[in-house]
Structure 1
Amino acid sequence: MLVQSEVEVEAQILRKGRSVVVTTVEFRLKDSKKLCYTSRATFYIMPVASL
């Protein structure tokens, strides 16, 4: 069964620190606004080497 429907994607930064950024992404059906999928990611910010 193939269902074709459009989704809306919303991303937010939950926390931004000196070396870590935490984000969340939500995917919702465009017609009903029903939540399909949610994801969180943590990113480590590498310090810049001073040469």
Structure 2
Amino acid sequence: MDVIIILLLLIVIALLVRINEKLPGRDLAKEAMERYYKERENSEERKTRQEV
């Protein structure tokens, strides 16, 4: 019974690795910069709303 469970776990892990390899790579620095600029723009909009 333990052998079957371990075998199934290995199959699931292999499938997840294959799926992960097919996903496009992410540019984490670019995403961080986009989040930063978006948050900065939102904070500036909030400041102008408060002033008006």
Higher-Rg structure is 2
The TM-score with structure 1 as length reference comes to 0.20
Q: Which has the higher contact order (CA 8 A, sep 6+)?
A: 1
The TM-score with structure 2 as length reference comes to 0.20
Structure with a larger share of its residues in strand = 1
Structure with a larger share of its residues in helix = 2
